[in-house]
Each structure stands twice: as structure tokens, then as C-alpha cells.
Amino acid sequence: MLSQKTRYTIRALQELADHYGQGSVRLDQIAQAQNIPRKFLTVILSELVREGIVESHRGRTGGYELALPPVDIRYGDIIRITRGSVALVPCASRNAHETCEHCLPEANCRLRGLMLMLRDETAAMLDRITLADPIMTEPPHEDDATPPA
């Protein structure tokens, strides 16, 4: 499950992507548009500045903007920056691997095998989608598909 911090980070970056090339966006504008607490947003944007994804500008016309084009920022990278991994369990993480408490030895754990497959599929999908890609608020359902004529 994505943490609240990760969800806020994604929404803040989506807001900046929507304004890419139009100059800086004020912190208050991002907070209001994305319903993110201002204090939390300040921490998130500071982290993204350190990571080189966002630039901050001081002064009267200051604010924040993407340091990279939206097409170069993948959702997988955003999640890894804020969460450390796209894995759902610690034993399936590439970068933050930990043995799960109260579990079978990893070589015998089929749940871990399932989580490794899920991690790889999820990572592949998240690494294909960028901030530049249009994302619908609700994906189409199979039932909604019109059969071919």
C-alpha cells in the first residue's frame, strides 16, 4: 500500500507537470489544488529538490517547478524515492530487502515467490508510465468495452 507521503508526492508532481514550462508554481497553489497540508508539502518538495526532480525559486515570482521534463519522470522512480521500493513485502524488495518476521525460510516461501513476480510486473508497469502520460481518473472496465464489429 502506498503511504500518504507517496500519494501526496505523486499528486504534487502531477500538479507541477500540469504547469510544466509555464514558470514556478507557488506552494500554496499546489497545496490547495491537490489538498495537501502545507507543512507536509514543504517537506516533500524539499526532498524532491534534493533528489533533483524539482527546482525551487525564491522571491516574488518564486515557487517550484519540475527540474526535468515530465516525460523523464517515471512513477516507479517517484515511488522508489518516497517508499524505497515497489515491493509489497520487505523480503521482495531489491533495494531494502529484509527477511520477514515469523515466516518460512525464503527458499521455501511461495508467498515470497508470488510477491517477487508481482514486484517485477508492478515495477515494469510503473517504469513505463511517466508524468507526461495521460491518466484517466477511472480506468475502463472490460464490461464497458464495445465488442468489435
* Ranges of each domain in the chain: 4-66
CATH class of the domain at 4-66: mainly alpha
Model-level pTM?
0.81
What's the CA gap between 65 and 67, in Å, rounded? 6
The three grid cell numbers given for residue 116, joined into one nine-digit string: 517477487
What's the CA gap between 58 and 60, in Å, rounded? 7
Q: pLDDT tens across 80-121, in order? A: 898 777 788 878 887 777 787 888 888 888 888 898 898 899
What pLDDT, on the 0 to 100 scale, is given for residue 106? Answer: 80
What's the CA gap between 95 and 102, in Å, rounded? 21
Q: pLDDT tens across 48-68, in order? A: 999 999 999 998 888 999 999
Transcribe 36-55 into DSSP letters. Answer: --HHHHHHHHHHHHHTTSEE
